[in-house]
Amino acid sequence: MPDPSPVKGRLAVAGEWSAPRADFESRNPADLAEVVGAFPAARPAEVAAAVDAARAAFPAWRRTSRILRAECFDRLAQLVKRDTDDLADLMARECGKNVTECRAEVVEGLHMIQYVFGSGRHGVYGEVVASEIAEKDAFVRRKPWGVVAVITPWNFPFAVPLWMLGPSLLEGNTCVFKPSEDTPAVGQRLAELFAEAGFPAGTVNLLHGAAEVGEGLVRNPGVNVVCFTGSSEVGRRIQEISAAMPDRTVAAEMGGKNAVIVCDDARFDLAVTAGILSAFKTTGQRCVSASRILVHESLIDRYAKAFVDATKRLRFGDPLDPRNFAGPLIHTEAVEKVLRYNALARKEGAKVLLDAGEFRPEPDRNGCFLSPFVYRADWRPGIRSLREEVFGPHVALIPFRDDADAARIANDTDYGLSMAVITESYRRMRFYRDECDYGMGYVNLPCIGAEVHLPFGGVKRSGNGHPSAAALAAAVTHPTAWTVNHGTEIKMAQGLAADIAEDADVPAITGPEHRNGPAATPTGLPEAAEAPRASASAEEKPFQTPELWALVTTARVLPTDLVRQVADFAEFVGTRHGKPPAARPPAKLVAPPPPVDDDEVDLGSVPMAEEVVDLSGVYYGTGSMSSIGLI
């Protein structure tokens, strides 16, 4: 049996659990008088310590065999199986989801753990690719980034963290995990299971707290990857902060305004059931919940009646009672937000079909219960209630004329996470597959119910191209190219020549930055460069202006833009070429002077060597500064 006493919240850093601290409380949304636990809000020094601990644990964890890392997940799976019922009960008390949903979420988390364990032995984490050189083997290998910050939502407090922690840890990263401040007890229990499974100290660190803790974690430059699921506003903030950090990747899933499309050939009962599940499972508080059901105009009246009748039969109440369909909203602020959108829909001309408002399933328990709000609305541009995410039991029934009209309405939102189409036509399935904006699409199903071996993410404001679950491995690793030559000589790709000139008359190319360290970049013409050297003949001055000639013959170091002019004129442009055209004199290289002390020499008076070497057909790289003298 689960322990009903309040959870004592602690932080976990470098394998050590802090003393309990009660900075904030977690309460049961079905009964606000019940305190689920009291938790510490991590302070800035504790956030920094958690990142440092993950950074310190990274080298050893990265070097651990991938298979041995995976075996930690096998042990974790056994613990989750052992504790499934207790985890489901704790989750139902803390986030308000019905216990049957909570048990399904624990199983989903278990599936992610099992997927990660299996991937340890047969997962693809690199490729062997062909080379145009027969003696070469070429590999693409994925390497872990380092420290991953995992910031997760309250509505899936067990499965979503595992979507992120699982791939991150398997690939050799270490993690700092910050669960939602609305479900810290479930997050802490998950961290305890990681520790019990034998994950090394510092590989999984736990922080509690609200927005300021998350922002402190995101601002820490020791974090290489941020994995986030939550609102688009917070996700955008994370990306803005991270944009200033060159060694930072963000994988963000950020909500949706999802639609179920019911075509005129739909199986009617299936369409009603798909709409009900999409709209009201988890009381409409899934990022993939449907707050829009688009119905062909020939079916809209019949569908609206059947949908409302089915909704009236749903039971909302105590989340620990498995007979109930759904439970409360997460907190009073969520109730207030949904009520504002209900009022907005009325103001925007909606025809309300069902609205019973707030209620108490049990008179003596004060919870955050809100009945479904169902309305009919014709689509037109700019209707906020049809375009903005609500996150609650709020759904619009919208008629459409034809498939093109339905796709246009479905796409008329800033989000693109999930969608479903109910049809018997394979041609229609293909049309909606190609024309709608989404990351997850379903046919003859609700728009909820993702499986862990598929990518979970969206487009537009719903995501940033780094889906979660099985697809997250690409975001928490970076691909590297590794090429091995098995031959006894060098052969270059693209036909690039690999032979090196062996003419003893060609002097070694050295320069002041090689002899005495980097030289300063000239800001203009040296004072001694006002006129060409008297000893230089016109035949040895192939440059177009006296000023350019003067600078080249006097400066020890040439700015990059001048080197480009010289290189362009001399016609050696980065690869080995033949002789320049006969009409132009060949480029000449003067061997630089012997080492000198920069403090004792006027750069404008450094003597140039007498010997001249033909450079036609030879390329010398300049880097950011030139260290060769040209005449």
Catalytic center residues: 253, 287
Q: How far is CA 559 from CA 465, 516, 623, in A?
A: 41, 18, 10
Are 229 and 152 in contact, with CB atoms under 8 Å apart?
Answer: yes
In whole angstroms, what is the distance from residue 236 CA to residue 242 CA?
A: 10
Query: Residue 231: which of 180, 292, 165, 282 has the closest Cα?
Result: 180
Tell me which residue has tokens 């460069």: 529
In whole angstroms, what is the distance from residue 150 CA to residue 591 CA?
A: 58
Radius of gyration of the chain (CA): 33
Supply 163's token pair: 């979507």
**Based on the number of CB atoms within 10 Å of its own CB, is 116 exposed (0-12), middle (13-18) or buried (19 or more)?**
buried
Query: Residue 541: which of 566, 563, 507 has the closest Cα?
Result: 566
Q: How far is CA 403 from CA 260, 294, 383, 459, in A?
A: 13, 11, 21, 21
Q: How far is CA 196 from CA 56, 161, 175, in A?
A: 21, 17, 16
Give per-residue burial for 43-80: e unless 16+ CB within 10 Å, then b. Answer: beebbbbbbbbbbebbeebbeeebeebbbbbebbbebb
**H or E element that contains 458:** none
In whole angstroms, what is the distance from residue 588 CA to residue 597 CA?
A: 26
In whole angstroms, what is the distance from residue 379 CA to residue 361 CA?
A: 35
Residue at 407: amino acid letter = A
Q: Could you tell me where the DSSP H helices lie in 300-354?
A: 300-312, 332-347
In whole angstroms, what is the distance from residue 507 CA to residue 620 CA?
A: 13
Query: Residue 110: which of 403, 451, 357, 460 has the closest Cα?
Result: 451
Supply 483's token pair: 């090429």
Supply 515's token pair: 């002899």
